[in-house]
Amino acid sequence: MKLPPTARFSTVCIHAGQEPDPSTGAIITPIYQTSTYVQDELGRHKGYEYARTQNPTRAALERNIAAIEAGAGAFAFASGMAAIGALATLLQSGDHVVVTDNTYGGTYRLFERVLTRYGLSFSYVDTSRLELVRDAIRPATRMLFLETPTNPVMRLTDIAAASALAHERGVKVVVDNTFASPCLQRPLELGADYVVHSTTKYLNGHSDSVGGIVVVRRDEDLEWLRFIQNGEGAILSPFDSWLVLRGTKTLALRMAQHNVNGLALAEFLATHPAVKSVLYPGLPSHPQHDLAKRQMRGFGGMLSFDVGTFENARRVCNRVKLMALAESLGGVETLVCHPASMTHASVPPEQRAAIGLTDSLVRISSGVEDPQDLIDDLAQALAG
């Protein structure tokens, strides 16, 4: 089994980083559930000493996702937040970071409630407007932290243009690629320096694991992130590594259906009389539809819609039957949530208002069920 250098995306997802197990030939990388490794003699071992530092299952996942994102290496962590925390160790006290204003609520909480205590500062701007990014960069700015599309208002940032602007000023670019997945968007190829994912979402895809991963563009970052993985110790477990490896094998297949279902639901909602507006980059009415077509290969399964009042939003969330009311996203089953009171409750109300995150907004993570069943469920939830 040898992956040709010309292998295309779905082939890379299935095969990259995984050799048949050397001791048995098992085609699937085993779960190496061990805390330590027996050494041959003092000073001689097989490359594995202690399982926080090295684990073959985790290493296979890291090679796999590095190849999927076209990076120099990848580092798996215990959650998406642990991965973002690891990236923050690239900064030093006094450094400043420009952040997409509509970033994930947990990222905002980490930056504002934890990292400001260590002398870091953050400015939150609408990174879809490059002039605002340009104005926000100061002499102390070291990092531009982008999320695109944003959660839940689905605003896009032009990764190539923002990276070019940041690099002119010596600023490194991170893209949280959780929402799009590498199947739809490849930030390192567009100029970003680092990609971060909550693997909890599309990469694992089955709502049964929490994890995160950092992918780096350059060899020079490998040593520090490996050191941090071992030094802070927030590593992904062997079992979770195995689950995510199983997930990435079907990433391309799943994303194809997420694209179909996302568009089907967005088109249905766009014509429904009870719906005020629909936010989905695949609709021609989306203000950044052209950028989405250029930057993404498919528009994904995430969409939000406004039903006018909080009471209406509450009714839709409580009435869906096939769809489940739950936080999280990116799984095979469709979820609905009310961002203002669930995923984004930690974002202050005035900041939510500034980014257009209203109390009447409902978010859908469309799964891979038959799209007509999802439409039927939404139709009955919106009826009356």
Ligand X SMILES: Cc1ncc(COP(=O)(O)O)c(C=O)c1O
- Catalytic residue set: 52, 104, 176, 201
The helix/strand/coil state of 268 is helix
* Minimum distance, C-beta of residue 67 to ligand X, in the bound complex (Å): 21
- Interaction site with ligand X (CB under 6 A): 79-81, 104, 106-107, 147, 151, 176, 178-179, 198, 200, 210, 212
Choice between 200 and 360, CB closer to ligand X: 200
* Minimum distance, C-beta of residue 190 to ligand X, in the bound complex (Å): 18
The answer to whether the beta carbons of residues 3 and 16 sit under 8 Å apart is yes
* Minimum distance, C-beta of residue 105 to ligand X, in the bound complex (Å): 8
Choice between 50 and 239, CB closer to ligand X: 239
Choice between 339 and 371, CB closer to ligand X: 339
**Cα separation of 156 and 146, whole Å?**
9
* Minimum distance, C-beta of residue 151 to ligand X, in the bound complex (Å): 5
Q: Output the CA angle 252-192-284, nearest 5 degrees.
A: 60
**Cα separation of 342 and 112, whole Å?**
19
Written as one string, the DSSP assignment of 332-355 is SS-EEE-TTTTTTTTS-HHHHHHT
Choice between 275 and 344, CB closer to ligand X: 344
Question: Around Cβ 364, how many Cβ atoms within 10 Å?
Answer: 27
* Minimum distance, C-beta of residue 317 to ligand X, in the bound complex (Å): 18
Written as one string, the DSSP assignment of 274-309 is T-SEEE-TTSTTSTTHHHHHHH-SS--SEEEEE-SS
On the 0-12 / 13-18 / 19+ scale of CB atoms within 10 A, 281 is buried
The helix/strand/coil state of 201 is coil
The answer to whether the beta carbons of residues 332 and 368 sit under 8 Å apart is yes
**Cα separation of 102 and 342, whole Å?**
15
**Cα separation of 205 and 182, whole Å?**
13
Choice between 340 and 382, CB closer to ligand X: 340
Choice between 144 and 381, CB closer to ligand X: 144
Choice between 150 and 360, CB closer to ligand X: 150
* Minimum distance, C-beta of residue 2 to ligand X, in the bound complex (Å): 33
* Minimum distance, C-beta of residue 343 to ligand X, in the bound complex (Å): 6
Structure tokens at 140: 């102390």
* Minimum distance, C-beta of residue 78 to ligand X, in the bound complex (Å): 8
Residue number closest to ligand X, CB atom: 80
Sign of CA dihedral 177, 181, 184, 187: positive
The answer to whether the beta carbons of residues 170 and 141 sit under 8 Å apart is no
One-letter amino acid for residue 114 of the chain = V
Q: Which of 217, 234, 214, 236 is nearest to 225 (CA)?
A: 214
Relative orientation angle of helices 371-382 and 251-270, to the nearest 10 degrees: 30
The answer to whether the beta carbons of residues 130 and 158 sit under 8 Å apart is yes
Choice between 141 and 204, CB closer to ligand X: 204
**Cα separation of 182 and 185, whole Å?**
5
